């Protein structure tokens, strides 16, 4: 089979390379000529473990190529996938569909024969119908079946997520589109993956509802962590106790500084707007959005409280800047409001991240100093704040931390260190949602921030 993937961004590249590795002939079309040239030269413009190798193998096998001109890619295609960006529109939180409709209009004008149009981009409910109408309007001579095939890829494990999905969702109102998508995903059949066929609107909503539900799970455990601190309970034992109930499941119950990234913040906002516009307000989702924003902002208060109420002229090592490990993505990372606030409060921030420093320079204040590794960030620091749980930070031994830093404060916003071992090494360790003799409680943190203002 043969497909065209419009957009060589994160989703387009991962999906294109994975389809190619499953035996499909894939042409990825990208408007940006620099990006096409880089890809043709074997350079992958995004950070995703395993992707460079997968792309190189498929290119060598002759199943994957990159093209700047859409009309050259289309002849012979069984399906065209739209994998262009749908960022949050400034001001109202709706998804910005300008790239989707521009690509669809260009496609309609250029299509040489009836071809299935599939949206991979996350688009609001009703977009599939609007695309079908656009196709009919521009090309009344052609029958273009439309399908919605949302992706559920996590940054850092996107290839694994594509090749071994929990399910494949295909929304369509045409037998022909369903048949093409079933054939494309057939190589995954032996693994017993369920391909769920629904209407267009349902598939579009499954994507948003899934992400909003996961975001809600995280937000729930974060609130429980605050409660644990106040009543002397341990949030990890709580999460385990809840997660063993198979109706709940153990995943996405890890407390932290609030969710970030390219999907959860954008998709929860968009679902909230979709529901409001449909006069069926999603109040839980609205609350998740505001609780998560407030949480990210409150983290600086915890740090302040851990440092005894002031961080002025304190040298603070910030370990991890990206919204999660195994990515260079800083979008909506909790590190952004945390570092801004620490700098405002007079702290000297020395930051280190294994992959995100280039992007971080754009998002963090100019005063931040960047270290070349954890050791140089920590050397002589009055304290450390762990924001992202990269494996290399897990490996830092408490005794070594104590010997390397000048001070003793460690604010562990991802609970990667063992509180007892940290205490035994003489460190003043502050975790999230765990009992400890000295810790910055959620309540204290608010007071500390109020006092600083």
253 is in an annotated binding site: yes
Phi and psi dihedrals of 213, rounded to 5?
A: -65, -45
Please, which residues bridge with residue 410 across strands?
384, 429
The answer to whether the CB of 278 falls within 8 A of the CB of 272 is: no
Residues in Cβ contact with 313 at an 8 Å cutoff, skipping those fewer than 6 apart: 346, 347, 348
Catalytic residue flag (residue 197): no
Only one of the segments 18-26, 211-219, 372-380, 393-401 lies at the binding site for ligand UDX (rule: CB under 6 A); that segment is 211-219
- Which is nearer to ligand UDX, 13 or 218 (by Cβ)? 218
Nearer to ligand UDX among residue 67 and residue 151 (C-beta): 151
Which of 324, 340, 429, 434 is close enough to bind ligand UDX by CB under 6 A? Answer: 324
* Smallest gap from residue 433 Cβ to ligand UDX (A): 12
Choices 112-120, 149-157, 346-354, 374-382 (CB under 6 A): range interacting with ligand UDX: 149-157
Q: Contact, 318 vs 413, CB < 8 A?
A: no
Contacting residue, 27, 144, 218, 338, with ligand UDX by CB under 6 A: 218
* # residues near ligand UDX by CB under 6 A: 19
Nearer to ligand UDX, 108 or 206 (CB): 206
Q: Which stretch binds ligand UDX (CB under 6 A): 153-161, 170-178, 297-305, 398-406?
A: 153-161
Q: How many CB atoms lie within 10 A of CB 292?
A: 24
Binding of ligand UDX at residue 186 (CB under 6 A)? no
Q: What is the C-alpha end-to-end distance of the chain, expressed in Å?
A: 62
Of 128, 260, 383, 433, the residue at the interface with ligand UDX (CB under 6 A) is 260
Judge contact between 50 and 18, C-beta under 8 A.
no
Q: In whole angstroms, what is the distance from residue 380 CA to residue 375 CA?
A: 10
Which of 58, 127, 211, 292 is the binder for ligand UDX (CB under 6 A)?
211
264 contributes a contact to ligand UDX by CB under 6 A:
yes
Q: Does 252 interact with ligand UDX (rule: CB under 6 A)?
A: yes
Nearer to ligand UDX, 53 or 154 (CB): 154
Question: Which residue from 99, 120, 254, 439 is in contact with ligand UDX, where contact means CB under 6 A?
Answer: 254
> Can you tell me which of 220, 323, 390, 393 binds ligand UDX, judged by CB under 6 A?
323
- Strand order of the β-sheet with 348-352 is 369-370, 348-352, 315-319, 383-386, 409-412, 428-430
Q: How many CA atoms lie within 13 A of 121 on its CB side?
A: 29
3-state SS, residue 12? helix
The shares of helix, strand and coil residues in the chain, as percent rounded to the nearest 5, are 45, 15, 40
259 binds ligand UDX (CB under 6 A): yes
- Rounded CA separation 265/165 (Å): 22
Under the criterion CB under 6 A, does residue 154 sit at the interface with ligand UDX? Answer: yes
Tell me 116's DSSP state. E
- Nearest distance, CB of residue 223 and ligand UDX, angstroms: 12
Least distance from C-beta 19 to ligand UDX, angstroms?
17
**Alpha-carbon distances of 38 from 8, 44, 266, 311, rounded to whole Å:** 11, 7, 28, 44
Of 153, 387, 405, 427, the one binding ligand UDX (CB under 6 A) is 153
331 annotated to bind ligand: yes
Q: Which residues are within 8 A (CB) of 400 and not within 5 positions of it... i.e. 6 or more apart?
A: none
d(CA 382, CA 403): 12
**263 is an interface residue for ligand UDX by CB under 6 A:** yes
Nearer to ligand UDX, 256 or 433 (CB): 256
Rule CB under 6 A: say whether 47 interacts with ligand UDX: no
Q: Which residue has the tokens 């992400």?
A: 211
Contact 312, 345 (CB under 8 A): yes
Q: Would you state the structure tokens that stand for residue 166, as one six-digit string?
A: 């929990």
Asked if 155 touches ligand UDX (CB under 6 A), the answer is: yes
Spatial contact of 14 and 88, defined as CB atoms under 8 Å apart: no
Q: How far is the CB of 11 from ligand UDX (least distance, A)?
A: 8
Residue 217 annotated as binding? no
Query: Which stretches of the chain bind ligand UDX, using CB under 6 A?
Result: 151-155, 211, 214, 218, 252-254, 256, 259-261, 263-264, 323-324
What residue numbers does the annotated binding site for substrate cover? 152-155, 207, 252-256, 260, 324
Catalytic residues: 263
What residue numbers does the annotated binding site cover? 35, 86, 122, 152-155, 207, 252-256, 260, 266, 324, 331
What residue numbers does the annotated binding site for NAD(+) cover? 35, 86, 122, 155, 266, 331
């Amino acid at each position: 089979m043969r497909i065209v993937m419009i957009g060589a961004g994160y989703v387009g590249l991962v999906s294109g390379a994975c389809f190619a590795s499953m035996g499909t002939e894939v042409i990825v079309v990208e408007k940006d000529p620099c990006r096409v040239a880089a890809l043709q030269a074997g350079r992958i413009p995004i950070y995703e473990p395993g992707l460079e190798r997968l792309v190189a193998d498929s290119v060598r096998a002759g199943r994957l190529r990159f093209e700047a001109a859409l009309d050259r890619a289309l002849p012979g295609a069984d399906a065209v996938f739209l994998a262009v960006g749908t960022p949050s529109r400034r001001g109202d939180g709706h998804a910005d569909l300008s790239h989707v409709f521009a690509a669809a209009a260009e496609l309609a004008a250029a299509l040489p024969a009836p071809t299935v149009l599939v949206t991979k981009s996350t688009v609001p409910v009703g977009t599939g119908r609007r695309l079908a109408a656009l196709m009919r309007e521009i090309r009344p001579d052609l029958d273009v079946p439309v399908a919605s095939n949302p992706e559920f890829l996590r940054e850092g494990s996107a290839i694994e997520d594509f090749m071994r999905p929990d399910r494949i969702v295909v929304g369509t109102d045409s037998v022909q589109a369903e048949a093409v998508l079933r054939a494309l995903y057939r190589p995954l059949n032996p693994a017993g993956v369920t391909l769920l066929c629904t209407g267009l609107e349902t598939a579009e909503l499954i994507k948003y509802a899934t992400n909003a539900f996961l975001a809600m799970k995280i937000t729930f455990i974060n609130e429980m962590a605050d409660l644990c601190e106040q009543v002397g309970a341990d949030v990890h034992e709580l999460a385990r106790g809840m997660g063993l109930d198979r109706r709940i499941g153990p995943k996405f119950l890890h407390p932290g500084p609030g969710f970030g990234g390219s999907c959860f913040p954008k998709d929860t906002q968009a679902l909230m707007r979709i529901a409001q516009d449909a006069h069926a307000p999603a109040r839980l989702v609205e609350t998740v959005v505001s609780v998560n924003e407030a949480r990210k902002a409150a983290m600086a208060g915890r740090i302040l409280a851990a440092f005894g109420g002031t961080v002025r002229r304190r040298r603070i090592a910030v370990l991890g800047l990206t919204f999660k490990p195994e990515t260079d993505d800083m979008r909506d990372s909790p590190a952004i409001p945390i570092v801004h606030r620490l700098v405002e409060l007079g702290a000297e921030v020395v930051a280190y991240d294994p992959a995100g420093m280039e992007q971080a320079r754009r998002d963090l204040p100019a005063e931040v100093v960047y270290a070349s590794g954890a050791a140089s960030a920590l050397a002589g620091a009055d304290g450390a704040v762990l924001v992202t749980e990269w494996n290399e930070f897990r490996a830092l031994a408490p005794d070594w931390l104590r010997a390397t830093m000048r001070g003793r404060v460690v604010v562990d916003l991802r609970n990667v260190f063992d509180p007892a071992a940290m205490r035994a090494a003489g460190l003043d360790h502050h975790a999230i949602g765990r009992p400890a003799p000295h810790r910055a409680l959620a309540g204290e943190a608010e007071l500390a921030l109020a006092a600083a203002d």
